[in-house]
Amino acid sequence: MDTNDRKTRVAVPLATFAEWQALAPDEAAHQIHARLAAMPPTARHAALAFVEREETIAGLFASASTTSPLRGVPCFIKDLFDRAGVPTCAGSTFLPEVRPTPYVDSTIVMRLREVGAIVAGKTHMVEFAAGLTGENQHYGDCPHPRFSDRLSGGSSSGSAALVAADVVPFAIGTDTGGSVRVPASFCGLYGFRLTPGDDLIRDAFPLAPSMDTAGWFTGNGADMLNATQVLASLQPAAQTPRGWYLPLHSLLDGADAETAQACNTAAMEFCPAVDATTRETLLQAWRDTVDAYVIIGMHEANQVHRNWLNPFRERYEPAIWQRFTDGGRFPPEKIAWAKAVRERVNRTWRQFFESFDFLVLPCVPGPAPRKADCTPALRQQILALTAPASLGGLPVLSLPVSLPSGLTAGLQIVAATPNSPVFAWALAKNP
């Protein structure tokens, strides 16, 4: 191939599944590498953990022979999932020293290949998935692809960034406390999270096993519908579902006014604002969700990391080391209290879904943050929005919401099951 031909190929605009599926295998493989090369070096380093050789990717495209809607769709996977022969780092520098290089692929990688998707590589993330803003002191904070002074969100930062930068149209993440929902909202993407214990998450490197879920990102609703139909057996919508919207001002004091208004406007396309009785029932049930989420999550994280916290203390990010360490200091009665809160939240969700099909609420309190904005207070605000579904172990569809500034926020649509027809209905209304 001569240089002029290579330059022409780099210029091809691609965004959707169908546009990628129309490419010849070597063309598609070249596009992935060319788009990665075109990223600013610091952004690429912060987002990309591993990429297959161009020749290998071309071979994967050539061998994809199914009729699935994901056939020939390239993707990257978050570096919590194993790829045979490639160390899994989970955003850290020492994990490969204490955990052997995997010799088999994770279930989600095998599933993607079964349906013809092209797993091109792995993405960086917040260390051990323990953060929501996209910061990582080892590989660099992951910048927003269109607003370089802001961050992508996390912990699935690299996966979101590569989709938002149009490197690939699809990427796999995980979501424990919002790690798909948050970066999807900040980066203007569609996101979906499954449920804890699903086959696609069981063999991922864990953060908090009772709450970890697999999930994915796309750049548009039609592609999200196709991906979710394949990976979650999404049911078609036979009738208009019933739901409520819980506004941002009901959940947070002093929330960003532009975000609140934009979310209100977007949510009204799906359902009315919640009535006073239902609102108070939900808010009362959720009043301790952040504390309960942190106690359960960090206690479980401590169980995963307890043998490494002392010998590798200097190689953890200090705040993450502290949270994981503190997770081993909760007295049994505090853990029991947190689990009782989770049961109360679950009971309230079950009662809600006896009468309604879905609940809509904002994903984030404002647009993508700058580094200086990434404070414990912001983390608390985000978790106040995301923890109710996390504690409930529920699937969530995240939809982007445009803000006047050109930045984005997001709505989360919470339903009872991953294959709920609510999700197909919502994506049809928001393509």
Catalytic positions: 78, 155, 179
Query: Rounded to an integer, what distance in angstroms lies between the CA atom of residue 163 and that of residue 4?
Result: 27
What Å distances lie between residue 206 and 135, 201, 297, 298, 301, CA to CA? 19, 9, 11, 12, 8
- Please spell the DSSP secondary structure of 60-86, one letter per residue: HHHH----STTTT-EEEEETTS-BTTB
CA angle 46, 51, 56 (to 5 degrees): 170
Question: What's the number of CA atoms in the CB half-sphere (13 Å) around residue 270?
Answer: 33
Q: How far is CA 157 from the centre of its chain?
A: 8
Q: Which of 136, 161, 189, 132 lies closest to 387 in space, CA to CA?
A: 132
Other C-beta atoms lying within 10 Å of the C-beta of residue 387: 25
Long-range contacts, 299-303 (Cβ 8 Å, 24+): 299/327, 299/328, 299/330, 299/335, 299/338, 300/206, 300/207, 300/208, 300/209, 300/210, 300/211, 300/327, 301/128, 301/130, 301/207, 301/208, 301/327, 302/326, 302/327, 302/328, 303/328
Residue 296's CB: how many other CB atoms inside 10 A?
22
Task: Calculate ∠ Cα 152-157-158, nearest 5°.
Answer: 115
**87 contacts 96 by C-beta, under 8 angstroms:** yes
Residues 44 and 32: beta-carbon distance below 8 Å? no
Residue from 2, 199, 8 nearest 114 by CA:
199
Distance CA 91, CA 130 (A): 10
Rounded to 5 degrees, φ, ψ at 384 are: -60, -25
Contact call for residues 31 and 169 (beta carbons, < 8 A): no
Per DSSP, the residues of 206-258 read PSSTTT--EEEEESSHHHHHHHHHHHH-PPPP-S---EEE--HHHH-TT--HH
